[in-house]
Structure 1
C-alpha cells in the first residue's frame, strides 16, 4: 500500500476512535463501577453502608488485597486507614487518584516515599 493510503486509513481510524461512545463517555464513579459487578452488595452488606465502614473495608481487601500487600504508597497506611479514607467511592471517578497533599501538608509526595 502506498503511504498516502496508509496515512488516510490511520487518520480515519483515529477519527473513529475519537468519536466512539467510549471515548466520549462521562466519567464513572468508583461506586457505579463496583455496583455494575454485583449491585450495591458488591461493597455493602444487604446493600446498606455499615456504621463504621469495616465491612466495606473488608470487601475492598477481598478483591484488591490488604494495604500491607500493596505497593510502597499503601503499606505505610496499613493499620491506620481504611480504603475509603482516601478513595472516596461515591465522590471519585474511576482513574482518579488521591494525592499525598490531600492529607499531608508537610510536603510528602509519593515520589519521596518510593526513593
Structure 2
C-alpha cells in the first residue's frame, strides 16, 4: 500500500474518533458499558450487587454527581430515589431515557415539568 493511502486511512480513522460523541455506542447495555470501564466492580463492591442498592447509588454519584447537582429533571427526586429506581442498568441501553409516566400517571413529561 502506498504511504499516501495509509496516511489517508489513518487520518480518516483519527477524524472519525475525534468526531464521535462517545466511544460507547447507543444501543449498548448500560451495565456492559460500565463493565468495560472497570469490570462489575465499576458499580458493585466485589462485583456483587448490594442488598439495598446503596453502594451502587454511591458509585453512580461518584461519577455523575448527586441528583441535586444534576439538571432540573433530577433535582426534585433528590432524597427520594436512587439512580436505579429510574435507570435500570441491566435492562436499559446507552441513550435510553426513562419516562415520567413510568411512575407518574398525571400525564407529565420531562418537557412539561421544565417549562
Q: RMSD of aligned C-alpha atoms?
A: 1.5
| Distance in 2 (alpha carbons) for counterparts of 1:65 and 1:29 | 21
Aligned to 2:84: 84
Q: Which has the higher contact order (CA 8 A, sep 6+)?
A: 2
Kindly report structure 1 stretches of 4+ aligned residues shifted beyond 4 Å: none
Cα distance in structure 2, aligned partners of 1:32 and 1:75? 27
**Unpaired stretches in structure 1, ≥5 consecutive residues:** 1-16, 18-24
- Report the TM-score when normalising by structure 2: 0.76
State the TM-score, normalizing by the size of structure 1: 0.76
Q: Where does structure 2 lack aligned partners over 5 or more consecutive residues?
A: 1-15, 17-24
Partner of 1:67: 67
Cα separation, 2, equivalents of 1:39 and 1:59? 13
- Greater Rg, structure 1 or structure 2? 1
